[in-house]
Amino acid sequence: MGTGAHVVVTANQALEDRLGQLALAELTLMERRWSRFLPSSELSRLNAAAGKTTIVSADTFSVIESAVEAWQRTNGYFDPTIHDALCAAGYDRTFAEISPGHDRPTTAAPAPGCADIELDRELNSVRLPKGVHLDLGGIAKGAAADLVVARLLDAGADGACVNIGGDLRVEGRAPTDAGWIVEFKLGEESRRRVALRRGAVCTSTTTKRRWMTHDGERHHIIDPRQGRSTTGVRWVSVIGARATQAEVLTKVVFVAGAETGGRIVEDNACYAVVIDDRARVTELGCLEGTLA
C-alpha cells in the first residue's frame, strides 16, 4: 500500500517467531488485496469491473463496507471514490515513482460519492457504478492495523502494537507497566507522549507526499467536493478506539476544517491535534476521556 509497517508483540518467547511470521503474512496478503498500484489486487480488479458485480474476500468486503459507512456518517467529508481525482492530480503510480519534477496537466472534478455502490454481505459482492473507482488508501492502513492486532492476539500474543504508515493500533499487555507509550507531533518542535492501554493513534500529513503539476504543488489528501488537494491544514493526529475510525477522522478534519471536523471528532468520542498551514496548533475533543 505504498508505506512501511512496524509490529511489536509481547508474548511467550516460544511464540515469537510464529507471531512475527503471521504478522508478515497477513500484511503481505492485505497489500496484495488492497493496493491500487498492483493490477492483480482485488481492489484493482474491482475498479476495472466497469459496473459488474464482483465477489471479493471477506476482509476486502469489510474494508469497503467500512469506507461506504464512513462516507455516510461524515456527510461525504470522507470519500473513498477519490481514486480518479488522485490520478488526475498525478498520483497514478507509487509515490516512489513520482519524480520531484513530476509535471503534468491536471483536471479536477468532484468525487462521485458512494450513493450507488451496491454491497451484498451474504455474498461478499460489490458493484461499483460505471465511472466510480475506489482508493482505499488510509482506511486500508487503519483496517490492516486493527485486523493484524486482533489476529496476533487470537494466535496467542499477550499484546500487540501495529503501526502502518502512521496508523497505529495497540491492544493487550504492553512492554511497560504504564501501557503502550505513543509519541506524536504537537507542533513543529513539540511532541506529546500518551500511555494507551488500548486504542489507536492515526496521523495524516500533507508535508511529505507532495509533487509539482502545471497548476502548482499538489499532495495526496483530496477534497472530494472539488477533486483537488486540500488547503488550510498540514497535520492531523487522532486518538480513538480503532485505527479504522481514527484514520477516517484525520481525513474529515483535513476536508471539513477544524471547526466542523472538530464537532465530528467529538461526536465520535475521539481526540485530535490539528496543525494548520500557519503552524497553529488546535486540540479537539477530550484526551482524558479518550484514554479512559
Q: For the segment 162-206, what is each residue's pLDDT rounded down to a tens digit?
A: 999 999 999 999 999 999 999 877 666 778 889 999 999 999 988
Q: Helices 16-34 and 137-154, interaxial angle, to 10°?
A: 150
Q: Which pLDDT value is given to residue 174?
A: 96
Q: Which pLDDT value is given to residue 99?
A: 59
Rounded to 5°, angle at Cα 69 from 65 and 71: 120
121-173 per-position pLDDT tens digit: 999 999 999 999 999 988 999 999 999 999 999 999 999 999 999 999 999 99
pLDDT band at 98 (very low <50, low <70, confident <90, very high): low
Q: Which residue has the higher pLDDT, 94 or 46?
A: 46
Q: What mean pLDDT value characterizes the chain?
A: 90
| Predicted confidence (pLDDT) at residue 103 exceeds the cutoff of 80 | no
**CB-based contacts of 37, cutoff 8 Å, min separation 6:** 2, 93, 94
pLDDT band at 3 (very low <50, low <70, confident <90, very high): confident
Domains of the chain: 5-291 (3.10.520.10)
Burial class (CB in 10 A: 0-12, 13-18, 19+), 91: buried
3 state SS for 203-250: EEECCCCEEEECCEEEECCEECCCCEECCCEEEEEEEECCHHHHHHHH
Q: Which of 249, 256, 260, 261 is nearest to 224 (CA)?
A: 256
Give dist(CA 193, CA 182) in Å, integer.
6
Q: Which of 7-21, 92-106, 174-188 has the lowest mean pLDDT?
A: 92-106
Whole-model pTM: value is: 0.92
Give dist(CA 258, CA 282) in Å, integer.
8
Q: Which of 35, 205, 47 is nearest to 137 (CA)?
A: 35
pLDDT band at 108 (very low <50, low <70, confident <90, very high): confident
> Looking only at Cα atoms, what is the longest distance across the chain?
56
Q: What is the mean pLDDT of residues 30-47?
A: 96
Q: Which pLDDT value is given to residue 101?
A: 55
